Amino acid sequence: MAPPSDLRAWIALLESENELVRVTTEVDPHLEVTEIVDRTVKSAGPALLFERARGSEHALLVNQFGSERRMCLAFGVSSLEEVAERLSEVLEMQPPAGLVAKLRGLRQLKSIADSQPRSVRKGACQEIVLRGDEVDLGLLPVLTCWPGDAAPFITLPAVITRDPRTAQRNVGMYRLQVLGPRTTAMHWQLHKDGRADFLASEGRMEVAVALGLDPVTAYSASAPLPKHIDEFMFAGFLRGEAVELVEGVSVALEVPASAEIVLEGYVEHGELVDEGPFGDHTGFYTPPEPFPVFHLTAMTMRRDAIYPSIVVGKPPAEDAYLGKATERIFLPAIRATVPEIVDYDLPVAGAFHNCAIVAIRKAYPAHARKVMHAIWGLGLLSLTKIVVVVDAHVDPHDYAQVAFYVGANVDPARDLVLSDGPADQLDHATTLQFVGGKLGIDATAKGPAEGTRAWPAEIEMDPDTRALVDRRWAEYGIR
Ligand SMILES: Cc1cc2nc3c(=O)[nH]c(=O)nc-3n(C[C@H](O)[C@H](O)[C@H](O)COP(=O)(O)O)c2cc1C
Ligand SMILES: [Mn+2]
């Protein structure tokens, strides 16, 4: 099934799949919604469409991504591995030999060509156009998530910028603290592409923010792509259908034509505001820090626009599922440069950059160390604090198995690697902000080539006995 084409098609799909509940009683976007959503996510509950959010005419959608099943529905697949496979086919394209391979190659090339966003003249996102003083963020049911939050925050935006040097687009998910009817803070962190675009610009830089997208395009804003890759192109590839874009009404940036709400405006060099505190996915409040101010020049909407939001906090929260999608979808890209990686897991409890468990096909001494350093040198994975490396036959998603090998295969005096490197801006544990220690745990089997005694064989039953017991199982009467 093709992925939904816009937020409304997505809501209809969720409803038909019994994955959405409409809440008709009035709720308060100030804290109350968070508590409802937090309980719902943690009990594997449905997406919630709040039709009456206090103080706003707009419906509020939360928890659209909050389960593995909904992520699969969003991508139109039965398992996210399917998405990874499609990406892998393209990344691993070989010069075709023979007609069948050539035809397949052409199909793959076409899937790339068709991914390019398509410009259209009119978009539903501009059915209502508010400019200048008409712009009012107070119209939207923006959540105040946690009691210590500085203000309401827009938490599920696709922030669109262009690199002034190359005109390359970037789309990132960066929270926006509401400062007034026409201003927000712009929380692009140190390592993010939106910030890099801003640093490369002078004076004012135009920004557009799209809210209420089809789920794959919304997801793509959170995807850690290399800077030169346009997230809307990536979304087009993942959807199998180009993202349609329409020119903004007050900025020279294109925005998704089917967005529910678009905020247009600019950020300006030399103007910073204290952003935060905000209770974030680390499970802690992030302290106030200076970030640019986003000035709105226009706000456009669909009629009866639906405002989308997400609640982050102590894991597991809804963003865990966005993170797991990234973990699965990016495996082929990681393997393109580190092919010995068989699989990996980013534990939800590790808020994604605290820990990575990596299973490798080990081929030579110190190979696990090579892979640790590769992870610490790979895009946003470089922020990972703890890397655990296990052998290929260990399932990195099975934490009990991983714990077994960390205990059994590790001599702490020999198998721990202490290093350092860049740290996530929101990490509160590092002594210095942005710089911190790294721990590598080599839980692979070692051998004399790595300075150990002879490594013993692992216990395993022989296949004949296993087959015998399979055959006779019913006879034993054990059940
Ligand atoms: C719900 C959610 C909120 C996020 N908020 C922020 C944020 O406020 N600031 C930030 O720098 N990254 C935030 N991220 C992570 C970025 O979206 C992610 O790192 C993405 O790769 C950024 O895009 P870029 O690689 O083009 O910079 C958030 C992710 C999610 C899922
Ligand atoms: Mn990017």
pLDDT single digits (tens) 273-289: 999 999 999 999 999 99
Are the C-beta atoms of residues 163 and 196 closer than 8 Å to each other? yes
Residue 296 CA from chain centroid, whole number: 26
pLDDT band of 100, cuts 50, 70, 90: confident
How far is it, in rounded angstroms, from Cα 312 to Cα 325? 16
Give the mean pLDDT of 365-390. 97
Q: Are strands 244-247 and 254-256 parallel, antiparallel or unpaired?
A: antiparallel
Give the model's pLDDT for residue 203.
97
Question: How close is the Cα of 63 to the center of ligand 2, in Å?
Answer: 24
- Ramachandran angles phi, psi of 243, nearest 5°: -80, 130
Give the mean pLDDT of 400-423. 98
Pocket of ligand 1 (CB under 6 A): 155, 170, 172-175, 187-189, 192-194, 222-224, 310, 312, 319, 322, 380
Tell me what percent of the residues of the chain surpass a pLDDT of 70. 100
Q: Is there a cis peptide before residue 277, judged by omega within 30 degrees of 0? A: yes
Give the mean pLDDT of 44-63. 98
Whether 118 has a pLDDT exceeding 90, the answer reads: yes
The helix (run of H) or strand (run of E) holding residue 269 is: strand 261-275
Give the model's pLDDT for residue 436.
98
Query: What's the pLDDT tens digit per position in 169-183?
Result: 999 999 999 999 999
CA of 280, nearest ligand number: 1
- Ramachandran angles phi, psi of 120, nearest 5°: -125, 160
Choose the residue to mutate in 63, 71, 162, 174 for probing ligand 1, maximizing ligand atoms within 8 Å of C-beta.
174
How far is it, in rounded angstroms, from Cα 156 to Cα 413? 45
Choice among 81-95, 241-255, 346-360, 383-397 with the minimum mean pLDDT: 81-95
Question: How close is the Cα of 157 to the center of ligand 1, in Å?
Answer: 9
Question: How close is the Cα of 173 to the center of ligand 1, in Å?
Answer: 4
Q: Output the pTM of the full model.
A: 0.96
How far is it, in rounded angstroms, from Cα 440 to Cα 165? 38
Residues annotated as catalytic (active site), given as ranges: 280
Question: What does the DSSP 8-state code read for residue 399?
Answer: H
Give the model's pLDDT for residue 110.
83
Give the mean pLDDT of 329-347. 96
Whether 1 has a pLDDT exceeding 80, the answer reads: no
Whether 111 has a pLDDT exceeding 90, the answer reads: no
Are the C-beta atoms of residues 155 and 309 closer than 8 Å to each other? yes
Give the mean pLDDT of 337-343. 97
How far is it, in rounded angstroms, from Cα 354 to Cα 177? 25
Write down the mean pLDDT value for the chain. 96
Nearest to 129 by CA among 300, 255, 304, 303: 300
Give the mean pLDDT of 22-48. 98
How far is it, in rounded angstroms, from Cα 10 to Cα 22? 14
**Residue 182 DSSP SS3:** coil
Give the mean pLDDT of 244-248. 98
Query: What's the pLDDT tens digit per position in 131-164?
Result: 999 999 999 999 999 999 999 999 999 999 999 9
Whether 383 has a pLDDT exceeding 80, the answer reads: yes
Whether 114 has a pLDDT exceeding 90, the answer reads: no
Whether 265 has a pLDDT exceeding 90, the answer reads: yes
